[in-house]
Amino acid sequence: MAILEMKHITIVGLQHERKPIIELLHKAGAVQIEDADAAGRGLDRKDNSKSIAKFDAYMSECTKALEIINKYAPESKGLFSSREKTDISNYTLPSQQIEKTLNDCRALSSLAGRIAEHKEDINRIDVKVNALSPYLMLDVPMKCTESKSTVFMAGLLPGEWSGERIAQSLEGIERVSYEVLSGDKLNTAVWIAVHKSEREKLLGWRKETGFSQPQFSLSHRTPKDKVRVLTEAKQKLESEIGGFEEEIKKYDTKREAIEMLYDYLELRRDKYREIQKFAMTKNTFIIEGWISAGECEPLKKRLDSEFTVYIEARAPYDDEEPPVRFKNPALISPVEDITRTYAMPSKHDIDPNPIMAIFYYIFFGMMFSDAGYGLIMVIGCYILGFTNKLEKKKRSFFKMFFWCGVSTAFWGIMYGSFFGDAVDKIAQTFFGLPQTVQLIKPLWINPQKEALLLLIVSIAFGMVQILVGLGIKFHMNWRRGLYSDAVLDVGMWMLVLLGACVLGGGMGFGIGILKNVGAAMMIAGAAGLVLTGGRKKKGIGKVFGGVASLYDITSYVSDALSYSRLMALGLATGVIAQVVNILGTMGGKSVGGVIMFVLIFIIGHAINFGLNVLGAYVHTNRLQYVEFYSKFYEGGGEAFAPFEMETKYHRFTD
């Protein structure tokens, strides 16, 4: 399989059947609805923006309510949890249930709001208590600032002041008394009493010393009494907060209903968004969109059997770019997301996934290249990708890594790596195996001893992928009738690169005829590029354009050398694994040595696994995107996005 054939579909129906028809399309999930040409037909559109905004507001209330519940009554879900299944009958909810659940959401928001208000009040109390703490020794109310003949003043002196220093600073003021209430290196709290006749002198002293009075409102209570009152108020607020929290926890039983309401609102909002794309008259409506050819007839038969409709399906026009939908076998479909991440194919492209998948799995395995790590991936990803542990849409990622694990195990066997050299190290350290004996041997290449050979093999694999990419470009040009571009622009470079491969093979194996054939192919290809490379240019560009085109050889050399990462990452995985094993066996054959080995083995290989699986994934993607797709892939297509039941918390099933 490859890219599915798409058809443009037009559905004309009656207004009184619009609701059941749109719901049928929603549940079928087979049609990507497009904006119908209302203006061109002199028809109208329905503006649902207010209804959509209302649904968004209700969904926001549900989200806020669920966040509140999860904060005070968290729900334990597994790392790979799936959405709950629910019957399709919940596609619609009774209005009474909707209103009741929305009221629950608002009650939760109110409780959370009261908690927030109480916490703000507590913060204000804490601030005031902290501000009062320097004055706790004062046994008169701070609001008491004067008597009939005396002025009282409490405040802070900056820094650490002794009683003697304060007395010296007050020497110019008569009939004054003071008391040090508290002090530290930052401030010294002082209470001062002075005769009213000396008020002006005291104000001058305050400016000179930096004496500052409290900024908070003064109380008729003593500071200690005021702190006691504030503390009691704080305790009452905290008690009320506890009651609010317990009340919120009771709403844990409403979680399911709120999640269901959220999904219901999401489905309704999506329906109203799609209805805005319809063209309408008073009595009819028109839907336009795209559907895969295989799903077209079943949908037409179902609509015809249930409704009064007119349906037309046609092939895309030449100037139309239909959305793209892949359909590939189980081995290939997991890598479709790799292509989607890069770009969807244009209508001129082929589906690159069947070819790319082969290289992807091979290259990932060469980079990760350890049979033990591959076995872990195979087991773990089989459970997550091929069983019902996860939803169907979430399994694809793990299916891809399952096949990557198979490749990793294969290349680990080829390289003789099973958790590095763990088997040999365990046998040598704990069972007395001679150092010269090797239990697990490479079936093909030992990366540590034959790194140069592995480098050559890696670049050879790279040249194969580059040539395949050029071959696809040749095919695409030929299919579009661009015969000269196929032969002269792509074919000549294929001849040059094939010649280079044949020449390299002849030199490596010492076969003279291969060297001669390879050199002749390279010369013929280069000559073709020089003679035809400037054919589309004007003037002197026709002469020098072909010569300039040979400069692209540097790009191809760079691309080929990029595949050396197959050797580098494969070598790194094995070497780090061996270092972990060496460190683990340093404790020798003893109880402590066994414990040490187990700990280092688990931790070390876990780190090596995590780092190198990520490296293999990133660099395998890079090879496809930069070195492979750049040779032929245009991209720019639109992924098929059908109108289907996308929900957050539940899966609707018949």
Q: Is the model's pLDDT at 539 over the cut of 70? A: no
Q: Is the pLDDT of residue 549 over 90?
A: no
pLDDT in the model for residue 76: 82
Would you state the torsion angle of the CA atoms of residues 601, 604, 610, 615, taken in this order, to the nearest 10 degrees?
-120
For residues 422 and 577, is the Cβ–Cβ distance under 8 A? yes
Flag whether pLDDT at 640 surpasses 70.
Answer: yes
Segment 237-258, tens digit of pLDDT: 999 999 999 999 999 999 999 9
What are the residues facing 652 on neighbouring strands? 86
Is 142 in a helix, a strand, or coil? coil
Pairing of strands 6-14, 309-314: antiparallel
CA dihedral sign, ordered 414, 417, 418, 419: negative
DSSP assignment string, 348-397: TS---HHHHHHHHHHHHHHHH--HHHHHHHHHHHHHHHSSTTS-HHHHHH
Cβ atoms of 264 and 93 within 8 Å: the answer is yes
Within 10 A of 265 (CB to CB), how many other CB atoms are there?
Answer: 22
| pLDDT given at position 215 | 82
pLDDT tops 60 at residue 435: yes
The better pLDDT of the pair 431, 551 is held by 431
Sorting pLDDT into bands at 50, 70 and 90, what band is 543?
low
pLDDT of the residue at 272 = 97
* C-alpha span between 237 and 635 (Å, rounded): 61
Query: At 321, is the secondary structure helix, strand, or coil?
Result: coil
- Residues of 433-464 as b/e, b for ≥16 C-beta within 10 angstroms? beeeebebebeebbbbeeeeebbebbbbbbbe
Residues 562 and 626: beta-carbon distance below 8 Å: yes
Closest CA to 380 of 359, 369, 395, 391: 395
pLDDT, tens digit, 9 for 90 and up, residues 18-69: 999 999 999 999 999 999 988 888 899 999 999 999 999 999 999 999 999 9
DSSP character at residue 490: I
**Adjacent-strand bridge partners of 11:** 287, 311
Strand pairing of 187-195 and 150-158? antiparallel
pLDDT tens track for 389-421? 899 889 999 999 999 999 999 999 999 999 999
User: Distance from first CA to last CA of the chain, Å, rounded?
Assistant: 29
- In sequence order, the 6+-apart residues with CB closer than 8 A to the CB of 106 are 61
Count the Cβ atoms, other than its own, within 10 Å of residue 591.
Answer: 8
- Residue 368 and residue 374 in contact, taking contact as beta carbons nearer than 8 Å: yes
Give the pLDDT of residue 79: 76
Look at residues 624, 11, 633 and name the one whose alpha carbon lies nearest to residue 306.
11
Cα 108 to chain centroid, rounded: 30
Long-range own/partner contacts, residues 429-434 (CB < 8 A, 24 or more apart): 429/585, 429/588, 429/589, 429/593, 429/597, 430/589, 430/593, 430/594
Render pLDDT for 338-369 as a digit per residue (tens, 0 to 9): 999 999 999 999 999 999 999 999 999 999 99
Residue 210 backbone zone (phi > 0: left; psi -120 to 50: alpha; other: beta): left
DSSP result, 522-564: HHHHHHHHHHHTTTTS-TTHHHHHHHHHGGGHHHHHHHHHHTT
Interstrand relation of 6-14 and 284-292 (parallel, antiparallel or unpaired) = antiparallel
Task: Report the distance separating Cα 305 and Cα 20, nearest Å.
Answer: 13
Average pLDDT, the chain: 94
Query: Please, which pLDDT band fits residue 81 given cuts at 50, 70 and 90?
Result: confident
Which pLDDT score is estimated for 37?
Answer: 87
Q: For the residues 512-524, what does the mean pLDDT come to?
A: 94
Rg, C-alpha atoms of the chain? 39
Residue 374 is predicted with a pLDDT of 98
The pLDDT of residue 552 is 87
Return the half-sphere exposure (C-beta side, CA atoms, 13 A cut-off) of residue 603: 8
Q: Are 321 and 640 in contact (CB under 8 A)?
A: no
Which residue has 């966040």 as its token pair?
67
pLDDT value of residue 541: 62
Assess contact for 485 and 646: CB atoms under 8 A. no
> CA-to-CA distance for 127 and 143, rounded, in angstroms?
19
Q: What is the pLDDT of residue 90?
A: 87
Please state, in angstroms and rounded to a whole number, the distance separating the CA atoms of residues 519 and 506. 10
Task: Report percent pLDDT > 70 for the chain.
Answer: 99
Alpha carbons 178 and 176: distance in angstroms, whole number: 7
Question: What pLDDT, in 10s, does the model give residues 458-509?
Answer: 999 999 999 999 999 999 999 999 999 999 999 999 999 999 999 999 998 8
> What pLDDT score was predicted for residue 540?
66
Structure tokens at 23: 């719901």
CA dihedral 598, 603, 606, 607 (to 10 degrees): -150
**134 burial class (0-12, 13-18, 19+ CB within 10 angstroms)?**
buried
For the four alpha carbons of 253, 258, 259 and 260, in that order, the dihedral sign comes to: positive
Let me know: does 314 contact 16? Beta carbons within 8 Å: no
Of the pLDDT bands very low, low, confident and very high (cuts 50, 70, 90), residue 653 is confident
- Helix or strand run (H / E) with residue 51: helix 49-72
